[in-house]
Amino acid sequence: MSDTHLSEEQRMMRQSCREFVDDVVLPFIRGNWQREWDMNPDGRLPPDILEGAERVGIRALGVPEEFGGIELDRGSEVQTFAMISEEIARGDSGLADKLVQNWKVAVLLRNLAPRHLQEKWFARLVAEPSFLMAHCLTEPRGASDRWLPYNVPEAAMTTRAVKQGDHWVINGRKQFISNGYDAGLYVVYANTNPAVGMMQGTSSFLVPRDTPGLTVARCNETLGCRFMNNGELVFEDMRVPEDHLLVESDALGKAGVYFRPGKIIQAAKNLGVGVRAFEVTADYVQNYVQGGRILIKHQAVALRLADMATRIEAVRALLARAARAVDDNDADADTLCNMAKVYASEEIMKVAQHAVELHGGNGMMLDFGVEKLFRDAAIFLHMDATVDISKLKIVKSMFPHTAGKYAGAEA
Ligand SMILES: Cc1cc2nc3c(=O)[nH]c(=O)nc-3n(C[C@H](O)[C@H](O)[C@H](O)COP(=O)(O)OP(=O)(O)OC[C@H]3O[C@@H](n4cnc5c(N)ncnc54)[C@H](O)[C@@H]3O)c2cc1C
């Protein structure tokens, strides 16, 4: 990858991430492939991996310098997030998921949380290498449709928050939450006005893990990205102090500070998985002999490699354009970051398919390790909106008066 556009700081960060991945993450993954399948979620990723991320200075990105974080140049912050997410996901996309969730929630907190809560939670994040944060929107009865124009009461969240004195009382549940199993702090979205559409009636709250009424109900056993512990949460008369309200009523609109960088980071992690699939495949086809010749000498094999490389570069180009648009706050940033996210998920899935096919039988063997990239790639089709919903969002942002209008009852 050409790095002429990178600043000196970005180049140094990329180099230290690459060394961390090559020297620590990849040897761990190669040497411990069974750890992914440990049914005790706490036992999967050893703490020294997150401590290693701390040493290279990438754990608390997004935290302002005044609270002990490492401040990135705001004019290229999202581009730097993308660069680092790609590097880490090249090593392991579950580890990348764990880390990026902290960056995304940190950006949300620095924009929306009261100062005394920023002081408190940024201090913990900076001090504890295993401290994680989570962002909880998805519920059993709705997720994707939240982002369509179905701004009607019947599509609103079923998790409810009601003000009682100086507390909010929250009841409901959230599912499929990244870091949901082991986070120390959650951002939770709940309906605070059932009479209106969700864009006007959803509020967000800061919920510490030890809040009475919060239960971490389970850790989901995911197909890929298994070193990130995805969890389910239940809230039963959970009482949250009133100062823990982040945004009242229009929390979904304000979540753009989370979702725009979030989509870029998703696409970048996805790219990292594709780059690793290409690396291992390029190595394999130049060493593995079949039919008396190394595989790459067979033209069908060589063509597939070209296809992998082309898809990766196309994803990289769109991602770079979208990340710049988010940093520059361009008018088409929303459209572009949805495009980058959904395009990466479909293209890198094909890259991963080529990778396992070119490895033949070895591509299907757990101990060989290539199938992991295929499983990890599949997760991206479903994370942060499905493929179809992402495409609907793109067309909605381009044609708000036609594609962007609810197809149900006429207003
Ligand atoms: C690994 C992983 C991590 C995740 N992390 C988080 C997280 O940190 N926080 C969080 O809040 N959520 C998280 N999610 C949830 C994720 O955002 C949702 O899974 C995703 O938005 C899809 O929602 P769903 O699973 O409810 O699918 P559904 O909405 O039930 O979709 C099922 C199918 O129906 C289609 N569909 C649904 N509604 C419509 C519609 N109105 N019009 C047309 N088609 C429709 C979808 O495209 C899909 O094909 C995570 C998911 C995964 C897999």
pLDDT digits (tens, 9 = 90+) for 361-380: 999 999 999 999 999 999 99
Average pLDDT of the segment spanning 16-29: 96
- Ligand 1 centre distance from Cα of residue 144 (Å): 5
Distances (CA, A) of 212 to 209, 239, 247, 309: 9, 7, 22, 51
Mutate to test the pocket of ligand 1, among 383, 391, 395, 405 (most ligand atoms within 8 A of CB): 383
pLDDT band at residue 291, thresholds of 50, 70 and 90? confident
Strand boundaries in 142-300, DSSP class E: 160-164, 167-177, 185-191, 202-208, 214-219, 231-241, 245-247, 289-290, 293-294
Cβ 383 vs Cβ 127: under 8 Å: no
Strand, helix or coil for residue 381:
coil
Return d(Cα 285, Cα 297) in angstroms, integer: 8
- Ligand 1 centre distance from Cα of residue 253 (Å): 19
Q: Which of 273, 272, 182, 262 is nearest to 220 (CA)?
A: 182
Q: Is the shortest distance between the CB of 133 and ligand 1 below 6 Å?
A: no
Average pLDDT of the segment spanning 370-391: 95
pLDDT band at residue 1, thresholds of 50, 70 and 90? very low
Q: Is the shortest distance between the CB of 143 and ligand 1 below 6 Å?
A: yes
pLDDT band at residue 145, thresholds of 50, 70 and 90? low
Return d(Cα 83, Cα 17) in angstroms, integer: 10
Look up tokens 């069908």; give the residue.
Answer: 300
Q: Is the shortest distance between the CB of 179 and ligand 1 below 6 Å?
A: no
Q: Is the pLDDT of residue 141 over 80?
A: no
Taking residue 270's Cβ as centre, other Cβ atoms within 10 Å add up to 34
Q: Is the shortest distance between the CB of 252 and ligand 1 below 6 Å?
A: no
393 membership: H or E segment, kind and range: helix 387-398
Average pLDDT of the segment spanning 199-228: 97
Residue 10 φ then ψ, to 5°:
-65, -40
Query: Measured between alpha carbons, how far apart are the two ends of the chain, in Å?
Result: 51
Q: Is the pLDDT of residue 13 over 90?
A: yes
Closest ligand 1 atom to 228 CA: 1
Token pair for residue 170? 């929250």
Q: Is the pLDDT of residue 148 over 70?
A: no
Q: In the chain, count of helices (H) and strands (E)? A: 13, 10
pLDDT in tens, 78-101: 999 999 999 999 999 999 999 999
Return d(Cα 32, Cα 53) in angstroms, integer: 18
Q: Is the pLDDT of residue 345 over 50?
A: yes
**H-assigned helices in 214-255:** 251-254
